[in-house]
Amino acid sequence: MGIEQAEAGGASTALYRVIADRGSLMPFGGETEHGNPSDWPGYAAELERARLTSGARHAVTTARVTISGERCVLIGFEFAFLGGSLGTAEGAMIGRAFAAAIAERVPVVCVAASGGMRMQEGTSALTQMQSVAASVGSVRRAGIPFAAVAGDPTTGGVWASLVAAADVALGVDGARISFSGSRTRPAGADPRSADYYAAGKWQHGFLDVLGSADDVRGQLGAFVTLLSPRARADRERYHPGAAGPVRPDSEDAGRAHGQRDGWQQVLAARQPGRVASDRWLASCFGTRFEIRGDRAGGVDHGIRCGFGLNGGQTFGYIAQSGQATTGAGYRTATRLIGLAERFGCPVLTLIDTPGAASGPADEASGIGTAIAELLVAVASCSVPITSVVTGEGVSGGAIALGAPGNLWIAPDGYLSVAAPELAASILKRGPDDIAEIASLLRLTPADLTARGIVRGVTSPPAESRPAPQGPGGTGTADRR
């Protein structure tokens, strides 16, 4: 059922009912009573009118549901009840919902449609932001996935304490999403600015997915299918000695790769026909869900991060695509590492970059700091990381994604302290010396294997497997 069907005939249906599997809703916590902490005149009568007009007891409904067949705890907002505003009763219900998800080891899914905190309850409503934040922290510590859907509208304290704090955030196209509500913005602010809408939040990397309600439902299904603690427990457990998505090529193939000199290897890594990261991902993973953005206003279209299913095991993945990686890309990769650690998922990184982006704007955005933080995240990660140099592997922009002690290389890959042309410039050598310097850099798979820098040569499976579509499908929602 799509949102158009849900609202056919003028009967509005809350978005969370569209997102959940039909017939699966089992509410709990509705017995929670409202108070009047600020002694607001006439508040009891307002609550009674809200119940009559909305058909709900509170601005949120908490329930056990299934999404794509996976059990979840739902926090659904009723916008018809005082604009979906959050008061003390709703805060208590949200806390109980998070506690239930921890006890039952199932994901939390919040489907929001809210104007923020409730004015009639004053500061008591405001402090619910702290209460919600504590609940989010509790599921993070417990390794419970938390996904949030931003419906129309999602504003104020509900956006800033609940939805924006989720592990992944999905937005319904056209929804108003902002911290400032329409009546609290500066004079002269353009109310039609994309920055107040889902499209702007997606553009700047604050939403992982943007689409219709039906699109969001399908991709949310992929997320809970991949990362539900119960589903992960039923699958084969990964251990560091397992091959996972990477297996060494034969010795004969390895000898064949060693026939190139350094410059030939560099040219092979740059050729358009080589196996690129998209094919690696399609070969390694079926169902996928991709995260997007560094949650600091940046998106790097040249790096892909997400979760995928391989051999019954959910992996995290980070894949460069042959472009210079920006600070936003490295911060997004660090975000992925953090999520994978929280959920206990091993990680595959695919290295393919001519180096880190190096313009003035990149320095201003803190690219050196972003690389440093990723290096630390990879070096200290508590889950196994496997890395493959699939194309160019140049300088710190490449090694930031490299797993110490578990680095592999593809037949057409190379790994070097600098590109041969830049090395020649650094050493004050001319263009005629570039090929010689490429050989002196010892950057070929054979050189790197012999020196113990990489474990061996590996290739993706011979035939790629496209990810399934529809509910539980790729989860990429990529508008690039």
Q: For the segment 192-221, what is each residue's pLDDT rounded down to a tens digit?
A: 899 999 999 999 999 999 999 999 999 999
Cα-flanking dihedrals φ and ψ of residue 177, to 5°? -135, 115
User: Rounded mean pLDDT of the chain?
Assistant: 90
pLDDT for the residue numbered 232: 75
CA–CA separation, 377 and 382 (whole Å): 9
Contact in structure between 375 and 413 (CB atoms under 8 Å): no
**Considering the chain, what percentage of its residues have pLDDT values greater than 70?**
89
Instruction: Enumerate residues 6+ apart whose C-beta is below 8 A from 402.
Output: 349, 351, 378, 387, 389, 393
Q: If pLDDT is split at 50, 70 and 90, which confidence band does 290 have?
A: very high
Q: Among 238-242, 346-350, 407-411, 449-453, where is mean pLDDT lowest?
A: 238-242
pLDDT for the residue numbered 140: 98
Diameter over CA atoms, the chain: 85
pLDDT single digits (tens) 432-442: 999 999 999 99
Scanning 245-382, the segments in alpha helix (DSSP H) are 251-257, 262-270, 277-284, 327-343, 360-364, 367-380
Contact in structure between 337 and 374 (CB atoms under 8 Å): yes
Q: If pLDDT is split at 50, 70 and 90, which confidence band does 6 have?
A: very low
- Exposed e or buried b per residue across 380-393, where buried means at least 16 C-beta atoms within 10 angstroms of its C-beta: ebebbbbbbbbbbb
The pair of three-digit structure tokens given for residue 463, joined into one six-digit string: 């035939």
Quote the crossing angle between the two packed helices 367-380 and 327-343, to the nearest 10°.
Answer: 20
CB atoms under 10 Å from CB of 469, counted, come to: 9
CA–CA separation, 136 and 126 (whole Å): 16
Closest Cα partner for 303 from 401, 399, 219?
Answer: 401
pLDDT single digits (tens) 77-122: 999 999 999 999 999 999 999 999 999 999 999 999 999 999 999 9
pLDDT for the residue numbered 243: 54
Q: Work out the angle at residue 98's Cα, subtended by the Cα atoms of residues 160 and 147, and round it to the nearest 5 degrees.
A: 55
Please check the confidence at residue 238 and state whether its pLDDT lies above 60. Answer: no
* Amino acid present at 345: C
CA–CA separation, 433 and 425 (whole Å): 10
Please check the confidence at residue 355 and state whether its pLDDT lies above 90. Answer: yes
Residue 13 vs residue 271, higher pLDDT:
271
Contact in structure between 146 and 133 (CB atoms under 8 Å): no
pLDDT for the residue numbered 326: 98
